[in-house]
Amino acid sequence: MKIGYSFWGFLGNGVTDTPDGGRSHRRPFIDALLGRGHDIVFLQADRDRLEAGDNLGNAYTFDSGYPGIDALFLEWRWAITGRNTTVCGTEGHTCDLHRQAQLINHYTVRHQTPTVIWDKDRTLRAESVWRRTAHTAVCEAALASSQGAWSLLFPVAEDLLDHADPVALAAQPRDLALGYVGNQYDRDEPFDRYFAPAAARVEHLVAGKWTKTDRWPHVHFLGRIPFEAAAGVYGRSLATILMLPDRYAGVGQMTQRIFEAVLAGCVPLAPADIGFVDRFVPEELIVHSGRDVIERLSYLRQVAGTQQHAELIAACVDRLRLFGLSKQVDTLESVLQGLVGTTATERGAA
């Protein structure tokens, strides 16, 4: 199947000043689709080449026009005031939203091309027409997806899980008790409740875009770091905290931070109010308060480098199989096959 793929971000390391978390899973996902015989053409700007000066070995195809495709796949973009809602060509403008509208108008509306919307940020309105159009399907990165939507999680390659060595990861020296990589967006409440109290007691570091930090003068904010440097922060940290916006936590939408941390041997502590939390971490890593975080960190310091520590990391690695790449590709193929069959039936009836 030839798939027109629309995303606004990077396949490689990209640039530092961007919130694109998709870099940790987008390229493996696409490579797996290519490995199954699909043909992929990217329909947004080639930001790797234009912004990062990286042509990725010319391994991928980009097209700014409207090539012939069998299906359209959209990593859903939404209106961001002052950025993609401004006039093309003005300072600070990004054309992701305009291009997405063009693609939908050309393929989804005019040609009724089977279209899959991956609503990774949960910004597609509940009343959206695309939730009730026969040749479109919505996917969400949540365990409890919206009515009619498919669950398509952020994928992690199984070979990374198979080759993870919990004993070696546990033995790795770590100078930080607590580390966090990620941006502030809608995370003030869990940060206040879980991270800030512990940060007053232990060595810690926060990397990412945090612009309003006056209420936490004791916290060490490093600012944004290059994408590839995230593994270094996790590799120095005994533990992290899985802090999610409410719109993610309630439906069990876990971000890619969990496998970035675990694969570096950084133990993830998970707030109890995350939906399906026991599917993401072992029970002993579920926390209800800042006090719980402090107690878990004390325990982790006691067992650091021991067999107990290795077994805990192994249990976390095992939980990551929920996000297995092959499972997620299977899901997308099922969605696409269903849409293609529906569209063919409709055209036949017409």
**Ordered domains of the chain (ranges, CATH):** 2-155+324-349 (3.40.50), 158-323 (3.40.50.2000)
Instruction: Please name the residues in contact with 295: beta carbons below 8 A apart, sequence gap of 6 or more.
Output: none
Instruction: Please name the residues in contact with 298: beta carbons below 8 A apart, sequence gap of 6 or more.
Output: none
pLDDT by position in tens, the chain (length 350): 999 999 999 999 999 877 788 999 999 999 999 999 999 999 999 999 999 999 999 999 999 999 999 999 999 999 888 888 999 888 888 999 999 999 999 999 999 999 999 999 999 999 999 999 999 999 999 999 999 999 999 999 999 999 999 999 999 999 999 999 999 999 999 999 999 999 999 999 999 999 999 999 999 999 999 999 999 999 999 999 999 999 999 999 999 999 999 999 999 999 999 999 999 999 999 999 999 999 999 999 999 999 999 999 999 999 999 999 999 999 999 999 999 877 655 655 55
Distance between CA atoms of residues 210 and 202, nearest Å: 20
- Given a contact cutoff of 8 angstroms between Cβ atoms, the answer to whether 135 and 108 are in contact is yes
pLDDT at 348: 54
Which class for 162: exposed (0-12), middle (13-18), buried (19 or more C-beta within 10 A)? exposed
pLDDT at 16: 85
- Pairing of the two strands 71-75 and 115-118: parallel
Distance between CA atoms of residues 233 and 252, nearest Å: 25
pLDDT at 60: 98
Distance between CA atoms of residues 281 and 317, nearest Å: 9
- Given a contact cutoff of 8 angstroms between Cβ atoms, the answer to whether 252 and 279 are in contact is yes
pLDDT at 19: 74
Alpha helix segments (H runs only) across 253-303: 257-262, 290-303
The CA R_g of the chain, rounded to the nearest whole Å, is: 21
Total-model pTM: 0.94
pLDDT at 93: 87
Distance between CA atoms of residues 204 and 233, nearest Å: 10
pLDDT at 222: 95
